[in-house]
A and B are shown apart, each in its own frame.
Chain A
Amino acid sequence: MRKFKEFIIEKLILLCGLASIFFVLLIFLFLLKEGLAVFRSVTPFQFLTGRSWYPISEPPQLGILPLILGSLMVTAGAAAISIPVGVACAVYIAEIAPAQFKEVLKSGIELLAAIPSVVLGFVGMVTLVPWVKSIFHLPTGLTALSGSIMLAFMAMPTIVSVAEDALYSVPKSYKEGALALGATHWQVIHRVILPAASSGILAAVMLGIGRVIGETMAVMMITGNSAVIPNSILQPVRTLTATIAAEMGEAVVGSEHYFALFAVGIVLFVISFAVNVTADLFLHKKVS
């Protein structure tokens, strides 16, 4: 009897172990199931490169190029801010900060990671947006730049913690060897430790960017949500994620618009899948 019970339990454990694979496949399948229907009316090429997104006009125009460019612009801006600052902060925490201060800093970073995105979006709306508006004398502060700045803060916890792990796992002997040869601490950091940790830092950057591309609420609240091809970072844009979040509420189940939003979801899923697999490869390269 006990044998039988344990047999059942071990099978259950195996089943739960495989649940993650099951759920990833399930997510992808259901996105495909609902999203591929849109390609009965537009070709994938038209969908990805169409320059106008008017999903509720008659006939609907379903080109997501403005949304892709919106996402790219906001992401590029956020990356430009968060990568140098995040990596610098990781170096500071891993190498320079005194031991007690280190714990405080790490908790601060953890705190930032814990703040819900809708709260960050709210804070961005009431503080950052008016600043951007008055500094650049714009008609509205709801711009790609505001989104980039806010998103940089969401990417930084990821970048800092993964990069710090990478820096930390560089063998102590590397550092000691370089110091013994008479290098200063800074020379050791940027000539020895940073290159040795480079694949881990690259993974950190990729994961940070992945976080930014997928971020929804804060972006929707502060980038202005206008689905046109942006010319400058000081214009309102609309990202892929914000489009889904803002429009799915009104889309009728089974309509062209509904299918199109799921197709946008497929695009996002594929991007995040690619980013995460690449980051994972970098992380595993470090081990071997």
Chain B
Amino acid sequence: MKNPKRSQKIAFFILFLATLLIVVPVGLIVVIIIQKGLPAINWQFLSDMPRQGMRAGGIFPAIIGTVYLVAGAIIFALPIGVLAAVYLSEYAGNNFLTRIVKLAIVNLAGVPSVVYGLFGLALFVVFFRFGASILAGSFTLGIMILPIIITTSREALESVPSSFREVSRSLGASKWQTIRYIVLPNALSGILTGTILGLGRAAGETAPILFTVAAFYLPQLPHSVFDQAMALPYHLYVISTQVPNVDEKVRYGTALVLLALVLFMNLVAIIIRYKFRKMKKW
């Protein structure tokens, strides 16, 4: 420890090891799932109903269920989230109310996912009598991803230079016209990024849909928003813990489809962010 150069070398090496300790397992997890899951993936696996108590056949209804849920969540959360971001970036003053709103967003983001499940059960399933349904699940997931959409959209709106707004207002446009025709279009890429990240989160979460929508085994497609549905993350949970003797290939295959779906959305979000950052005119 006496020699500062040497202790720096040791310290930096330890920091590097710590970094490897995070990054290497992540890589391994992804590689293992791809390697063992890929042999299970074929057209039948993706497009067929589960058979023999989910030990064979495909995962089509789970994929469709997840698509419905995610679509429902975003239809609910996107307008509210973007308008909330507009409020925070364009209207809110630097006062107590704004502070409370921001704190509420932070808390909404921190509520455990299973508590969202409880809330969805109490409010949508029991109180509003939706029953376990796509509607109840979508609303629950929608509220859960609201903070992601608000935070990213707000960042996007705030990064639009204030000179844009000033020019627009000085030309006689009203505040809303300025937001509608100047600020929102320029923040579109950021809002899109946030939306896609929210989609990815909603697609991967299990706990909020446990009691609000997820069906253990339902070998048909839902007919209306009041039907239960299977969903990919819940299906993976079921076949890896609840059903004995499921072929390992089926489990890995399901994990791979879910992981690919979520990572694909994140990748798209990252690419959009990167592209627009380069394109930015200001």
Contact = CB atoms under 8 A, between A and B. Distances in A.
B100 interface: yes
Given A13-B86, A114-B266, A123-B32, A108 B26 contact: yes
Contacts of B86: 13, 16-17
Chain A contact residues: helix, strand, loop or mixed: helix
A118 B80 CA distance: 28
Contacts of B207: 216-217, 241, 245
B103 to A, nearest CB: 6
Interface in A58-107: 84-86, 88-89, 91-93, 96-97, 105, 107
Given A34-B122, A105-B23, A268-B112, A85 B32 contact: no
Interface of B: 4-5, 7-8, 11-12, 14-16, 18-19, 21-23, 25-27, 29-30, 32-33, 79-81, 83-84, 86-88, 90-92, 100-101, 103-119, 121-123, 126-127, 143, 146-147, 150, 174-176, 200, 203-207, 210-211, 233-234, 236-237, 240-241, 248, 251, 255, 258-259, 262-263, 266, 270
Contacts of B211: 248-249
A248 B18 contact: no
A249 B234 CA distance: 13
Question: Among the interface residues B11, B175, B248, which one has the most CB atoms of the partner chain A within 10 A?
Answer: B11
A110 interface: yes
Contact of B117 (A92, A97, A109, A245): A245
A116 B237 contact: no
Nearest to B3: A184
Question: Among the interface residues A10, A185, A189, which one has the most CB atoms of the partner chain B within 10 A?
Answer: A10
Contacts of B114: 214, 216, 241, 244-245, 265, 268
A27 interface: yes
5 contacts: A89-B18, A89-B21, A111-B26, A111-B266, A272-B107
